[in-house]
C-alpha cells in the first residue's frame, strides 16, 4: 500500500470518527442541553476565577488598577518566585494548630461519618415492609435540608446550660451542667456528630441505588444454599456496593482538609479556638475581616494543593488494593 493510500485511509477513519461523534451528539442533544447550564456555571464560577489565584503570589492591592483584573496584573510579586506568603504561613505561629485541627476534624468525618451511611443503607435494605422503609428514609432525609444556621441554633438550644434538655437530664441525675458550646474538648464531638446526623440519610441514597440493581435471585440462591442474613450481606450486598464505596471514599479523602468555615464560625468562640480554628476560618479572618487578600489566598491555595495530594494518594492506594479508582 503506497503512501497516498495510507493517508486516504487515515483521513477516511478520521471522518468516520467525526460522523460517529456528531451522530451521538444529535441523538443525545436533549441531555446535552440539560447539561449545558451546569457546564456554564462551572466555567463562570470555577474556571474563570482561577486567574485570581495569582494574588496568592503578589502583594495584592485593589487601588493598583481600575478593575480587579488590572489590580491583580499591576500588583507586585512577593519575594523570590512569589512564595513569601506561603513561607510566612508555614513558619508562622498558627500553622501547626490549624493543620492539626483541620486534619483531625476531617479525619473524624471519614472515620465516623463515612461508614455510618453505609451501615444505614444496609439496615434499610434488610427492611422488607415498604411502608416502614419509606417512612424511615423520609425521616432520615429531613435533616439534610435544614440550613446550617438552623442546625447550630438547635444545638445551642438543646445543649444550653440553663434550659437545654441535655443539661436538664444531667442535673436530674445529680450531675453538674456542662456548657458544651464553650468547652473546647466537646467541639470536635459536636461538630462531627451533627454532621453525621444531617448527612446520614442523604449519604445512604447512593448505596441504596447501587443495592437496587442487585439481582434478587442471588439472595434466593443464597437462601437455598443455607446462607444466613449476615452471609448474604457479606457475599452479595457488600460486593455489589464495593465500587461505589471505594469511589466515595476517594472523594472524601480529597476533602480531608476541606472543613467548611460556615458551620465552625457559627459554633466556635474564643474559648474553643484551640480545637475549632481551622484553615478555612483562618482564611475568613485574615482575608475578609483583616482584608489581607493575598495572605488569605495563599493559605487557601496551600489547603487546596494538600487536598489534591490526598486525592492522588487515595486514588493510587485504592487502585492497588481494591482495583477501583477514579482514573
Which pLDDT does position 7 carry in this prediction?
61
pLDDT band at 311 (very low <50, low <70, confident <90, very high): confident
Which pLDDT does position 8 carry in this prediction?
60
pLDDT digits (tens, 9 = 90+) for 213-248: 888 888 888 888 888 888 888 888 888 888 888 888
Whole-Å CA distances, 11 to 3, 21, 181, 189: 12, 15, 69, 63
- 117 lies in the same domain as 260: yes
pLDDT band at 12 (very low <50, low <70, confident <90, very high): low
Half-sphere exposure of 243 (CA within 13 A, CB side): 6
Cα separation of 113 and 192, whole Å?
A: 7
* Helical pair 184-211 and 130-141, crossing angle rounded to 10 deg: 140
- The structural domain count of the chain equals 2
Cα separation of 270 and 283, whole Å?
A: 17
Which pLDDT does position 116 carry in this prediction?
92
- 193 lies in the same domain as 131: yes
Cα 23 to chain centroid distance, Å, stands at 36
- 118 lies in the same domain as 220: yes
- Residues 76-84 have a mean pLDDT of 82
- 154 lies in the same domain as 266: yes
User: Do the domain assignments include residue 327?
Assistant: no
Q: Is residue 188 within 8 Å of residue 102, measured between CB atoms?
A: no
- 217 lies in the same domain as 239: yes
Domain residue limits at 41: 12-77
Q: Which residue has the cell 481600575?
A: 66
Domain boundary among 21, 42, 77: 77
pTM score of the predicted model? 0.82
Alpha-carbon torsion (144, 149, 152, 155), positive or negative: negative
User: Of the ranges 6-10, 136-140, 189-193, which is most confident?
Assistant: 189-193
- Residues 169-192 have a mean pLDDT of 91
DSSP states along 25-82: HHHTHHHHHHHHHHHHHHIIIIIGGGGGGGGGGEE--GGGSSSHHHHHHHSEE-TGGG
- 173 lies in the same domain as 29: no
- 143 lies in the same domain as 217: yes
Q: Where are the alpha helices (DSSP H) in 142-278?
A: 148-158, 165-172, 184-211, 216-224, 229-232, 238-253, 261-267, 273-276
Domain boundary among 33, 48, 77: 77
User: Do the domain assignments include residue 203?
Assistant: yes
DSSP states along 280-323: HHHHIIIIIIS--HHHHHHHHHHHHHHHHHHHHHHHHHHHHHTS
User: Do the domain assignments include residue 326?
Assistant: no
The backbone torsions φ and ψ at residue 163, rounded to the nearest 5 degrees and listed phi first, read -115, 0
Q: Taking 90 as the threshold, does the pLDDT of residue 41 lie above it?
A: yes
- 270 lies in the same domain as 167: yes
- 145 lies in the same domain as 199: yes
User: Do the domain assignments include residue 47?
Assistant: yes
Which pLDDT does position 9 carry in this prediction?
61
Which pLDDT does position 5 carry in this prediction?
60
C-alpha cell, 82 = 512569589
- 267 lies in the same domain as 200: yes
User: Do the domain assignments include residue 273?
Assistant: yes
- 177 lies in the same domain as 269: yes
C-alpha cell, 272 = 474553643
- 56 lies in the same domain as 96: no
| Continuous segment of H or E residues that includes residue 279 | helix 279-283
Domain boundary among 50, 77, 104: 77
Q: Taking 90 as the threshold, does the pLDDT of residue 150 lie above it?
A: yes
On average, the pLDDT of the chain sits at 86
Residue 325 or 117, more confident: 117
pLDDT band at 3 (very low <50, low <70, confident <90, very high): low
Amino acid at each position: 500500500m503506497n503512501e497516498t493510500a495510507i493517508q486516504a485511509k487515515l483521513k477516511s477513519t478520521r471522518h468516520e470518527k467525526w460522523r460517529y461523534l456528531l451522530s451521538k451528539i444529535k441523538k443525545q442533544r436533549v441531555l446535552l442541553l440539560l447539561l449545558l447550564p451546569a457546564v456554564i456555571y462551572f466555567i463562570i464560577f470555577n474556571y474563570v476565577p482561577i486567574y485570581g489565584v495569582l494574588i496568592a503570589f503578589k502583594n495584592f492591592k485593589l487601588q493598583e488598577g481600575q478593575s480587579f483584573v488590572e489590580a491583580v496584573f499591576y500588583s507586585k510579586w512577593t519575594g523570590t518566585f512569589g512564595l513569601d506568603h506561603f513561607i510566612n504561613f508555614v513558619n508562622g505561629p498558627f500553622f501547626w494548630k490549624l493543620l492539626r485541627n483541620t486534619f483531625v476534624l476531617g479525619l473524624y468525618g471519614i472515620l465516623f461519618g463515612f461508614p455510618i451511611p453505609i451501615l444505614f443503607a444496609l439496615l434499610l435494605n434488610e427492611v422488607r415492609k415498604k411502608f416502614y422503609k419509606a417512612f424511615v428514609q423520609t425521616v432520615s432525609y429531613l435533616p439534610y435540608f435544614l440550613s446550617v444556621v438552623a442546625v447550630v441554633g438547635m444545638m445551642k438550644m438543646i445543649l444550653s446550660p440553663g434550659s437545654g434538655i441535655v443539661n436538664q437530664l444531667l442535673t436530674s441525675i445529680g450531675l453538674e451542667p456542662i456548657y458544651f458550646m464553650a468547652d473546647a474538648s466537646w467541639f470536635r464531638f459536636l461538630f462531627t456528630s451533627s454532621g453525621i446526623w444531617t448527612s446520614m440519610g442523604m449519604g445512604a441514597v447512593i448505596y441504596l441505588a447501587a443495592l437496587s440493581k442487585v439481582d434478587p435471585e442471588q439472595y434466593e440462591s443464597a437462601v437455598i444454599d443455607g446462607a444466613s442474613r449476615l452471609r448474604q450481606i457479606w457475599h452479595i450486598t457488600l460486593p455489589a456496593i464495593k465500587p461505589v464505596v471505594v469511589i466515595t471514599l476517594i472523594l472524601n479523602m480529597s476533602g480531608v482538609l476541606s472543613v467548611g468555615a460556615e458551620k465552625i464560625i457559627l459554633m466556635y468562640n474564643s474559648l474553643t479556638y484551640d480545637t475549632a480554628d481551622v484553615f478555612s476560618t483562618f482564611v475568613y479572618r485574615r482575608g475578609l475581616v483583616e482584608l489581607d487578600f493575598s495572605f488569605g489566598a495563599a493559605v487557601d491555595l496551600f489547603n487546596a494543593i494538600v487536598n489534591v495530594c490526598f486525592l492522588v494518594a487515595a486514588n493510587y492506594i485504592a487502585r492497588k488494593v481494591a482495583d477501583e479508582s477514579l482514573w
